[in-house]
Amino acid sequence: MTFEEMIGSSGEWLRGTGPEAEIVISSRVRLARNIRGFRFITKMDTAERAACEELVQRQILDAKVAQPLLYVPLHKADPMDRKVLVERHLISKEHEDAQHQRGVAIGANEAVAVMVNEEDHIRLQVLQSGFQLQEAWRICTRIDDALEQRLDYAFSPQLGYLTACPTNVGTGLRVSVMLHLPALVLTRHIEKVFQAVAKINLAVRGLYGEGTEASGHFYQISNQVSLGRSEEEIVKNVEHVIPTIVRYEHNARQTLLAKDRKRLEDRVWRAYGMLKYAQLLPSDEAMMLLSALRMGVHLGLLKDVSLRTVNELFILIQPAHLQKLTGRALEPMERDVKRAEFVRSKLNPQP
């Protein structure tokens, strides 16, 4: 698999398949691990960081964590390529911006990604389309076991796995589910959901995780506590609450259909019309229009647009993807023009 081949697809998190895929975009399991004998990244010098990256890269490739596997040395990568990886949820913004030797291993369909020398020496991530937390955890723990046979993880009998951030100490596990919740926003019930989630120690974040906004009505629900609970307990705690949120969103969509159908249809068709014919599309506006379009497809208000097409547009209209597809750097106005052109081409296919 090459970087160019990867860009041409939408990746696992936007395939639009799996249980409850019309609302649950993806399920993610991530493990933080560090190697005994190496200091935390922030304490390392240049030589230590290079030695750590080279060791972990070699063991990831030897363990064959996924096939085929693409390894990207981020310190050598083009800056635009790094931004693409952020937009595809394969590396963090911090991993993009760092200056030291580091990398990421990416499996087929982007279901597996292993960040090397991010905040921790290893950040192992598994993504599954739809509501498939148990499957994501099964794959993740298998890969983690394979790596632990080759690498001596930093572990304390009292504390568990040792991590750079205290909130990850213990299991080192972060479980999250990405949801599309436009109807709960429109019916103004979203805050009640957030309050209920907070009471059971779960966090709500935006499209790109901590510190980001809920662009396009996408929200990530994840655990906040890693210490003092088993991995199975953490997975089940998140897994338990998601069906309730999904049911609330389904009910909110049906309420809009029953009580405010014309206004809902107007929102969906107005979004469709603007996306099909707009000459300029700023990123934030495009995301909100696509959100309405996606809900309309699910509710059967639009028959000639597929969920997969809408999902792919969410990622391919992001700034770095547009510039990679265009083949050059673009000024903000140029990006808005190209974004509009690209969306029109997808929604108005030539015979």
CATH of the domain at 26: 3.30.590.10
* Token representation of residue 325: 């597809």
* Token representation of residue 342: 């690209």
User: Looking at the 3D structure of the chain, how many domains does it have?
Assistant: 2
Which residues fall within 8 angstroms of residue 20, CB to CB, at 6 or more apart? 130, 131, 243, 246
The torsion angles phi and psi of 133, rounded to 5 degrees, stand at -65, -40
Per-residue pLDDT tens, the chain, 351 aa: give them. Answer: 677 777 766 677 677 788 999 999 999 999 999 999 999 999 999 999 999 999 999 999 999 888 888 999 999 999 999 999 999 999 999 999 999 999 999 998 899 999 999 999 999 999 999 999 999 999 999 999 999 999 999 999 999 999 999 989 999 999 999 999 999 999 999 999 889 898 888 989 876 555 445 678 999 999 988 888 899 999 999 999 999 999 999 999 999 999 999 999 999 999 999 999 999 999 999 999 999 999 999 999 998 898 888 988 998 999 999 999 899 999 999 999 999 999 999 998 765
Co-location of 131 and 224 in the same domain: yes
Co-location of 165 and 25 in the same domain: yes
Which residue do the tokens 């429109």 mark?
A: 186
Co-location of 68 and 42 in the same domain: yes
* Token representation of residue 329: 């750097």
Last residue of a domain, one of 201, 236, 253: 253
pLDDT score at 214:
62
Distance CA 317, CA 287 (A): 9
Co-location of 83 and 212 in the same domain: yes
* Token representation of residue 121: 């020496």
Last residue of a domain, one of 253, 287, 310: 253
Contact 103, 76 (CB under 8 A): no
Co-location of 235 and 300 in the same domain: no
Co-location of 295 and 194 in the same domain: no
Co-location of 182 and 324 in the same domain: no
Give the end-to-end CA distance of the chain in Å, rounded to a whole number. Answer: 31
Structural domain harbouring 84: 3-253
Distance CA 112, CA 65 (A): 8
Distance CA 143, CA 118 (A): 18
Co-location of 162 and 276 in the same domain: no
* Token representation of residue 253: 């969509």
Contact 319, 309 (CB under 8 A): no
* Token representation of residue 32: 């933080």
Last residue of a domain, one of 223, 238, 253: 253
> How open is the CA angle 7-8-12, to the nearest 5 degrees?
75
